Structure 1
Amino acid sequence: MEINKVLVADAVDQACVDLLKENKIDVDCKFKLTKEQLIKEIPNYDGLIVRSDTKVTKEVIQASKLKVIGRAGAGVDNIDVDAATKQSIVVLNTPGGNAISACELTCTLITSLARNVVPGAASLKAGRWDRKLFSGHEIYCKVLGIVGLGRIGREVAVRMQAWGMKTVGFDPIVSADDAAKFNVKFLELDKIWPIADYITVHVPLIPETRNLIDAKVLAQCKKGVKIVNVARGGIIDEHALFQALESGQCNGAGLDVYEQEPPTEEITWKLIKHPKVVATPHLGASTTEAQVRVAVEVSEQFVALTKTNPSFTETLGIINPSVVAKK
């Protein structure tokens, strides 16, 4: 594939730009373009690199002559993959680049919820000594339900097992035997909900996973269950989660992602401000290490597609391999 000129539309680590230029690919960095500006610019490029801010819509794709769109990160819900596939444009991401960072934030939220770290710290900073109000519980021997057993889900399982948690999980493309290799007991979702003390989701936002955890599911859960989402907003029904927190059916939530980002809906702000919620502003991949890793991985895949450098041959993040097969 001939890739001569690439537009980087969202801020990525300089390592991405440097690697592309070292491999004779021209790069322009133009951030915060409006949809209209992007449509005007895009016909000049063979490749486009984005993070989560730029929305690569059907209109943008149809205006382009792109050969490849790269997402420096895991999710591609800001890219119209169907439109790109119809136009024979390769779409790829960096599925392993932020796995450790997202995993570590997930584990942090679990332990913070268990010991009331955030409200306890806020109370003390406000000049109060409310020890008795913030009594927590151990996570030792508690059951952690992991929905999605890809890279991040597996890393979470390994780390929380070290804390003594019992891990059960589900993934439609992972077998029970594969799950057992990292000490996760494979169960169907309807078997996980009633036994899990904590539930964490690590799946993409697609039609099948939107509102995966809704009022019906929360009603099946153990009373006092705690929910963690460092994946994508929309996987958990925000209205249903708020009601479950109010009723006590859910006794805590750790949220890093929301249906609108930045949040705009009243229900989202109610969740964020709820006393039983630990909320962070989409920090899952916000580490120095992850940002360098995804920047390097996306550029390496671009170079691999050109087949001009034998040091780079892997394109593990391709979302629509049928396009590559055609080419």
Structure 2
Amino acid sequence: MRNIRVLIVDEVHPSMAEGLTKLGFEVETRTNLSLADFASILPSFHGLVVRSKFKITADLLENTSLSFIARAGAGLDLLDVDACLAKGIAVFSANEGNSDAVAEHVIGQILSLAHKLHTADTEVRHGLWEREGNRGFEIKGKTIGIIGYGNMGKAVATRLAAFGLQILAYDKYAPSADYPGTMEQIFETADILSLHIPLTSETKGLVSTEFLASFKKPILFINSSRGPIAPLEPLLEGLRNGRIKGLALDVLPNEKLSSWSPVEIELFAEIAAYPATIFSPHVAGWTVESYIKINEVLLEKIKAQFHL
């Protein structure tokens, strides 16, 4: 594999560079590049490992001779996949690497909302011993709708089955044989909704006021996929009218908090004022173990690509 050069532009676990080197690739790690510098040196590499530092556009790829792009994460919304395919560039993601982490995170969010663990903890820390106000509900016997039945959705369903929930999984492109469900069934019966779909032109803004109005019961709403799938405005409206009785967001439409406009700040503040809300900074798949497993998945895919 000599003279096949691979550029790593994001902070990833050292096992990626080590693994690529063992496979015979020439590896260069440059995590402090500006976009201009990145664009200028990219044509001299045959492989690219990226997480979320740069958006890989058709313009960036125009003068390159890349064989592959490996994204150290699950989603590919920061890559122009069509442009990659048009140039014969193999695109790898590592959905399998952090599905366990996402599943555990989502279950933790559900249990915290159902049993009011987050609010009870805060109150006790502030000297309040309010038992009745923190009476929760059991998730056994409830119905969860899972939209998206890829690695993440399957991992969540597999673990939640042990809790005695009725599971309905809907995936337009990969229907579930284990827990088949339609959107109509989910709208009709779901007590909990968890999103596990990629951000595409089809899913952007999927969660609207009309979408939430389709649910026959108030729901716990969980989003650990991508923020733009569920804009904050309809989520706030759902909290106001009671269609959302609990909200857990690991992702936001705009995750660069320092760039928020006054409108965004006010909108988020109003949502956060509801006690039945939980937020985390896009870390559902961000564990000690997944940091390594993501690399293991990508290295196996690269090995297969080059028949190593």
TM-score, length-scaled by structure 2: 0.92
Alignment of 1:61-100 (within 5 A): 61-100=61-100
Shift of 1:64: 2.5
Is 2:58 aligned against 1:58? yes
2:213 to 193, 197, 219: 219
Aligned to 1:316: none
SS at match of 1:187: coil
Q: Is the 8 A contact 1:197 1:222 kept in 2?
A: no
Aligned to 1:133: 133
Q: Is the 8 A contact 1:254 1:279 kept in 2?
A: yes
Alignment of 1:1-327 (within 5 A): 4-175=4-175, 178-179=177-178, 184=179, 186-263=180-257, 264=260, 265-266=264-265, 267-268=267-268, 270-272=270-272, 274-307=274-307, 309=308
Runs (5+) with no aligned partner, structure 1? 310-327
**1:5–1:96 distance in 2 versus 1, CA, 3 Å:** same
TM-score, length-scaled by structure 1: 0.87
Of all paired residues, the percent bearing the same amino acid is: 29
Deviations 1:57-105 (A, max 9, x none): 2232224322211111111111111222222222111121111111111
Runs (5+) with no aligned partner, structure 2? none
Partner Cα distance (1:70, 1:175) in 2:
27
Partner Cα distance (1:79, 1:3) in 2:
25
SS at match of 1:300: helix
**1:51–1:216 distance in 2 versus 1, CA, 3 Å:** same
Partner Cα distance (2:62, 2:100) in 1:
35
SS at match of 1:234: helix
**1:86–1:141 distance in 2 versus 1, CA, 3 Å:** same
Q: Is the 8 A contact 2:51 2:71 kept in 1?
A: yes
Aligned length: 302
SS at match of 2:220: strand
Partner Cα distance (2:157, 2:57) in 1:
35
Shift of 1:54: 2.7
Q: Is the 8 A contact 1:35 1:60 kept in 2?
A: no
Give, as a single letter, the amino acid of the residue that structure 2 aligns with 1:94: A
SS at match of 1:152: helix
Higher RCO, Cα 8 Å, sep 6+: 1
SS at match of 2:27: strand
Q: Is the 8 A contact 1:225 1:250 kept in 2?
A: yes
Deviations 1:101-160 (A, max 9, x none): 111111111111101111111122222223222221111101111111122212211211
Partner Cα distance (2:223, 2:251) in 1:
7
Shift of 1:162: 0.9
Shift of 1:273: 5.1
Shift of 1:32: 4.2
Partner Cα distance (1:81, 1:278) in 2:
33
Partner Cα distance (2:279, 2:230) in 1:
14
Partner Cα distance (2:86, 2:288) in 1:
36
Q: Is the 8 A contact 2:113 2:246 kept in 1?
A: yes
Partner Cα distance (1:212, 1:190) in 2:
15
Q: Is the 8 A contact 1:215 1:237 kept in 2?
A: no
Q: Is the 8 A contact 1:98 1:293 kept in 2?
A: yes
**1:2–1:92 distance in 2 versus 1, CA, 3 Å:** farther
Q: Is the 8 A contact 2:190 2:217 kept in 1?
A: no
Give, as a single letter, the amino acid of the residue that structure 1 aligns with 2:239: L
- Give the aligned CA root-mean-square deviation in angstroms: 1.9
SS at match of 1:193: helix
Shift of 1:3: 6.9
SS at match of 2:188: coil
Deviations 1:31-58 (A, max 9, x none): 1433212112212211110113332122
